[in-house]
Amino acid sequence: MPAIGIRDRVEVSLARQEFNASVVVADTTLKLDIVGFKVKLAGDAVLDADGWMPQIAGGAEFKRVNPGPAIGSVLDSASARRDGVDLYLSATKLFLAQGLLVNGTLRATKANQNGLLGFGSADQRGYRLEPELSLAWLLRKNLAVGAEVRLKPDNLAFAGAAFQEDDWKDLFIAWAPTKNVSITAAYVDLGNIVGHPHQSGGYVSLQLAY
């Protein structure tokens, strides 16, 4: 996922997610494109570490899914849209003495499986507010371990067990060997996704900044 930061205040990102849904429909891959914008609104997680002011950021993610004709017909019958926008507000606080980094996010979303199964349904057309929480323990100034949980709506449960949605959670370790490079490895549990139960596994990401 490429991302561009501007003056430590604005971030623009592009991403594509793909998921093999062949358990439900043979030779079907869900493709989700995401354009993200994030703005730092107030505070600074590092400079304000001695006080109680968190770093606050707001953002939007514009998403569009290509579900293929077979799953697309199911989404159409459930009145799920192919595109949608997530809005979120995030607060991050660093507790230096305890070596603890806490982030809480409140997301307004219509997304089904983050958007892989469209947005909303006949039963749920409006936005849902869903919380997300992450905790990181700083073992050193450039090394952290932690956990994350993300609650999600379940707009398509009426369409069958294959479309029921679970919350996402993970355990991670993050290392920043320099101020421009960070590497994150995680074990991720995504629950049921499009008829694939117990979706879990490893994840590695590399971020470069300048």
For 149, the token pair is 């949980």
Of the candidate ranges 19-23, 52-56, 123-127, the one whose mean pLDDT is the lowest: 19-23
Q: How far is CA 147 from CA 46, 133, 174, 192, in A?
A: 20, 8, 11, 20
The reported pLDDT for the residue numbered 20 is: 84
Query: What are the tens digits of pLDDT across the range 138-172?
Result: 998 899 999 999 999 988 877 766 778 899 999 99
Within 13 Å of residue 27, how many CA atoms lie on the same side as its CB?
1
What value, to the nearest 5°, has the Cα angle with vertex 175 and ends 174 and 181?
115
Tell me the CA end-to-end span of the chain in Å, nearest whole number: 16
90-110: buried (b, 16+ CB within 10 Å) or exposed (e) per residue? bbbbbeeeeeebbbebebebb
How would residue 118 be classed by pLDDT, with cut points 50, 70 and 90? very high
**Domains, in order of start, for the chain:** 3-208 (2.40.160)
Query: What are the tens digits of pLDDT across the range 82-114?
Result: 999 999 999 999 998 889 999 999 999 999 999
208/139: higher pLDDT: 139
**DSSP code string of 107-144:** EEE-BSGGGTT-B--SS--S-EEEEEEEEEEEEETTEE
Of the candidate ranges 5-9, 33-37, 59-63, 114-118, the one whose mean pLDDT is the lowest: 5-9
For 172, the token pair is 């991670």
Across the chain, mean pLDDT equals: 90
What helix, strand, coil percent values describe the chain, rounded to 5? 10, 60, 30
38/96: higher pLDDT: 38
Task: Tell me which range, 83-87, 195-199, 203-207, is most confidently predicted by mean pLDDT.
Answer: 83-87
The reported pLDDT for the residue numbered 1 is: 66
DSSP-H helix ranges across 11-169? 68-77
In this structure, the dihedral spanned by the alpha carbons of residues 195, 203, 15 and 154, taken in order and rounded to 10 degrees, is 30
What value, to the nearest 5°, has the Cα angle with vertex 55 and ends 149 and 5?
90
The reported pLDDT for the residue numbered 127 is: 95
